[in-house]
Amino acid sequence: MKCGLIIARMVINMNETRLCTIEQIEQFLSASASIEFSATGDDRERYGHISRVLTRFDYPGRSKRERGVLHRYLQHTSGYSRAQVTRLVTRWHRNRLAPVPLTKRYSTPAAPFARKYSAIDVELLVEMDKAHEDVCGPAIAHLLQRAYREYGDPRYERLATLSVSHLYNLRKSAGYQAQRISFTKTRPVCNAIGVRKAPSPEGRVGFVRIDTVHQGDQDGVKGVYHITCVDAVSQWHVEACVQGISEAFLLPVLALIIAQFPFVILGFHSDNGSEYINHQVAKLLEKLRIEQTKSRSRHSNDNALAESKNASVVRKHMGYDHIPQEYAKPINAFYVETFNPWLNLHRPCLFATSIANAKGKIVKCYKHKDVKTPLEQLTQLATQGLVTLKPGITLETLQAQAKTQTDLAAAQAMQGAKRELFASFVKPKRRA
């Protein structure tokens, strides 16, 4: 066997038969440690080289250390990996008394496997798929069988025996793909529930925006969901908590949210999530004579008010950590009894004033006089006849409730209740 010594793209053939002792082998390995060897022969020549070296150095009679030296030498000169050299040496040792201890146990087939399905068969499959709009594989396989057996078309003789699994292989082939390239435009979601438009309150109170915030997963377990519902004009804000966003949990909470607003709800706007765009919610809103609208495509501001409350209220006070679903009920009680009254009676909000700039464009600015609590804004709008309060609720009652404690005392009471709520949470232990 000849080994190529690669030095700066120059190949030098080396005759290694002069190495006759283990000491010479060790000296050779230490001197050529930084030199890369590339075997120029095929596997049969390298097998012969390994057999000759092992025979010349009487491998079975060598010590463990000397055998290791020979292993490193063969790995260095043959180009095989350490594991492959070990396997070949083991085979040689087992068959060393045979005339040829090492032989290749596999060979390249003389001819490639015969192709069963031709290009004509692929064309017939393409034709069948086109005609039936790419139905599932079992259906196409059945149609191919019927084409040959029921209708006697000889072109489908081979395809009649086509298995479903290999049908998908043919669909992935280059010949099939070249004939079945198709481009499908993104299809808009066609859902008749709700009107796709931005709400138009026209200064009237009662058009609410709603959005959902998830409290995070832990080890694949879902946390609670917070529901943010805020009026577009007065910013009257109601928070709720639900264990899940399925119908069984969501519908009772939606009814609870609507009941907490002191005025009549006229419009209900959400994004296109299925938790709100479904027949059960639509039936509930229709029963209350509430118009349901949903956000438009490429209009991210349609539900911006509710989404901004998610960041400034929910995430600020409830954080981002996982809260198990079983605590949805105590969180809801905290919202109803303490948090929502503080939001609407004592927490100031900024209200925008629309003005025309120098270019005549209408822009929104926030002035110091625009800072008001939702109750103050509601009172101001009521004097303009833009509020329809629910029966049994008056502004005097709401104002009397706000004066039972100062803004500071209400905030401190809310913080104390929140600390007690968070102290009651027992987080599940993480799995190792």
Domain boundaries, the chain: 3-94, 119-179, 195-349+409-423
pLDDT at position 13 is 61
The continuous run of DSSP H or E covering 323 comes out as none
The residue whose two tokens read 């290749």 is 104
Measured CA to CA, the distance from residue 405 to residue 357 in angstroms comes to 42
pLDDT at position 135 is 81
CA distances from 140 to 80, 159, 407 (A): 49, 10, 72
Six token digits for residue 384: 């303009």
Inter-residue contact 304 to 204 (CB < 8 Å): no
Sequence-distant (6+) residues with CB within 8 A of 431 are 219
pLDDT at position 9 is 47
pLDDT, tens digit (0-9, with 9 covering 90-100), for 326-370: 999 999 999 999 999 999 999 888 888 888 888 888 888 888 788
Backbone phi, then psi, for 420, in 5-degree steps? Answer: -65, -40
- With a pLDDT cut of 70, the percent of the chain lying above it is 89
pLDDT, tens digit (0-9, with 9 covering 90-100), for 16-42: 777 788 888 888 888 877 666 665 557
Six token digits for residue 192: 């008749």
Measured CA to CA, the distance from residue 426 to residue 428 in angstroms comes to 6
Return the beta strands (E) in 243-390 as ranges: 267-270, 291-294, 349-350, 353-356, 362-365, 371-372
Sequence-distant (6+) residues with CB within 8 A of 424 are 327, 330
pLDDT, tens digit (0-9, with 9 covering 90-100), for 117-165: 889 999 999 998 888 878 888 888 998 998 899 889 999 999 999 998 9
Q: Which residue would you say has higher pLDDT here, 78 or 264?
A: 264
| pLDDT at residue 375 tops 60 | yes
CATH number of this structure's domain 195-349+409-423: 3.30.420.10
pLDDT, tens digit (0-9, with 9 covering 90-100), for 210-269: 999 998 888 888 899 999 999 999 999 999 999 988 877 888 999 999 999 999 999 999
Measured CA to CA, the distance from residue 184 to residue 99 in angstroms comes to 66
- With a pLDDT cut of 90, the percent of the chain lying above it is 35
